[in-house]
Amino acid sequence: NWAFRLALIQLHVSAAKSDNLQRACGLVREASAKGAKLVALPECFNSPYGTQYFKEYAEKIPGESTQKLSEVAKECSIYLIGGSIPEEDGGKLYNTCTVFGPDGALLAKHRKVHLFDINVPGKIQFKESETLSPGNSFSMFDTPYCKVGLGICYDMRFAEMAQIYGQKGCQLLIYPGAFNMTTGPAHWELLQRGRAVDNQLYVATVSPARDEKASYVAWGHSTVVNPWGEVIAKAGAEETVVYTDIDLKKLAEIRQQIPILSQKRCDLYGVEMKK
Question: Under a CB-based contact definition with an 8 Å cutoff, are residues 134 and 115 in contact?
Answer: yes
Active-site entry in 37, 68, 109, 112: 112
Q: Is 153 a catalytic residue?
A: yes
Question: Based on C-alpha coordinates, what's the Rg of the chain?
Answer: 17
End-to-end CA distance of the chain: 31
Active-site entry in 153, 170, 189, 239: 153
> What would the DSSP string read from start to end of 247-258?
EHHHHHHHHHHS
Active-site entry in 43, 59, 128, 239: 43
Question: Under a CB-based contact definition with an 8 Å cutoff, are residues 100 and 69 in contact?
Answer: yes
Residue 246, phi then psi, degrees to nearest 5: -90, 120
Comparing C-alpha atoms, which of 23, 95, 49 is closest to residue 240? 23
Assign residue 13 a region: left if phi > 0, alpha if psi is -120 to 50, beta otherwise? beta
Question: Under a CB-based contact definition with an 8 Å cutoff, are residues 135 and 113 in contact?
Answer: yes
User: Active-site residue numbers?
Assistant: 43, 112, 153
